[in-house]
Amino acid sequence: MLNRRRACPEPSAALAAAPLSWVRRPQQDRSRKTLERLLDATEEIIRARGIDAVTIPAIVQAARSSVGSFYARFPNKAALLSVLHERACEQSIATAEAALDPSRWHGVATSDVVRTFVGFVVHLFRERRSMMLAFTTTLALEPGFAQRRARTAALIGRLFRALLLERRASIGHPSPQRALDMSLRVVTATLEQRNAFDESGVADVAVEDATLVEELSRLVLRYLDVQPDTL
């Protein structure tokens, strides 16, 4: 039987020194900075007002740029959204590489690794909900959209499995690699469903973050059969 723990345990000294956070790539030359401003402006409009508010005049105004500068980089709004999704996928991978770096978790119990990581993913899905929904509704038919999503999910899955397989001695499931893959699928599918239905207004559909962290962590730990306090 697993010991009862808080949904978001107090971080260890190692975690406190290197907190989990969303990773953004550095800006480089002037042209790159202009591109990043256009992408940042689009993202801010989506977050604040939704995808329907994204127009080329609104983008260039928010980016302190010009229509000419926009068209020098993108033929239309759809092309910009595709590049924005590509950037989001790159940042997701960079974030996962930092969050799942084994050196970050040295000396941390496997159960706390799972709980902390689940809490971080729940937070990210909440924080980036509007962006995820915007991509799904506007890029669903764009040829590269599904491929980028699949490639990103595959890379993150490999990182997650690699970290936990280093701790296979603490996992009681007879097929740790398969169990880790299914665990990540369950977590992401649950959060994607929550993002899709969270504001539906239907009773008993919305789930609070704390509940999701607690129950998803419990589900994953029980399924993996992680022994408490093992490294």
pTM of the model: 0.81
Rounded Cα gap, residues 170 and 109, in angstroms: 9
Q: pLDDT by residue (tens digit) across 66-105?
A: 999 999 999 999 999 999 999 999 999 999 999 999 999 9
Domain-located, residue 126: yes
What percentage of the chain exceeds 90 in pLDDT? Answer: 73
Matching residue, tokens 């020098």: 72
| Higher per-residue pLDDT: 167 or 13 | 167
Is residue 60 within 8 Å of 71, Cβ to Cβ?
Answer: no
User: In the numeric block, which tokens belong to residue 23?
Assistant: 């990773």
Domain-located, residue 183: yes
| Higher per-residue pLDDT: 17 or 112 | 112
Which of 40, 55, 74 is the endpoint of a domain?
A: 74
Burial class of residue 175, CB neighbours in 10 A (0-12, 13-18, 19+): exposed
Paired strand residues for 226: 171
Q: Are residues 87 and 192 in the same domain?
A: yes
Q: Are residues 38 and 114 in the same domain?
A: no
Rounded Cα gap, residues 85 and 79, in angstroms: 10
Q: pLDDT by residue (tens digit) across 174-223?
A: 999 999 999 999 999 999 988 888 766 565 677 889 999 999 999 999 99
Is residue 60 within 8 Å of 38, Cβ to Cβ?
Answer: yes
Matching residue, tokens 């697993």: 2
Q: Are residues 63 and 151 in the same domain?
A: no
Residues in the chain: 231
Q: Are residues 202 and 104 in the same domain?
A: yes
- Position 4 pLDDT exceeds 50: no
Q: Are residues 106 and 213 in the same domain?
A: yes
Residue 188's domain is classified under what CATH number? 1.10.357.10
Q: Are residues 46 and 91 in the same domain?
A: no
Q: Are residues 158 and 69 in the same domain?
A: no
Q: Are residues 117 and 176 in the same domain?
A: yes
Residue 56's domain is classified under what CATH number? 1.10.10.60
Query: What DSSP element (H or E) covers 14?
Result: helix 13-17
Q: pLDDT by residue (tens digit) across 23-81?
A: 766 555 666 888 999 999 999 999 999 999 999 999 999 999 999 999 999 999 999 99
Q: Are residues 129 and 41 in the same domain?
A: no
Q: What is the pLDDT of residue 29?
A: 66
Matching residue, tokens 């980036």: 128
Q: Are residues 167 and 118 in the same domain?
A: yes
Query: Which domain covers residue 63, as residue numbers?
Result: 25-74
Matching residue, tokens 């499931």: 173
Tell me the CB-side half-sphere exposure of residue 72, using CA atoms within 13 A. Answer: 11
Quote the number of domains for the chain: 2
Rounded Cα gap, residues 27 and 15, in angstroms: 27
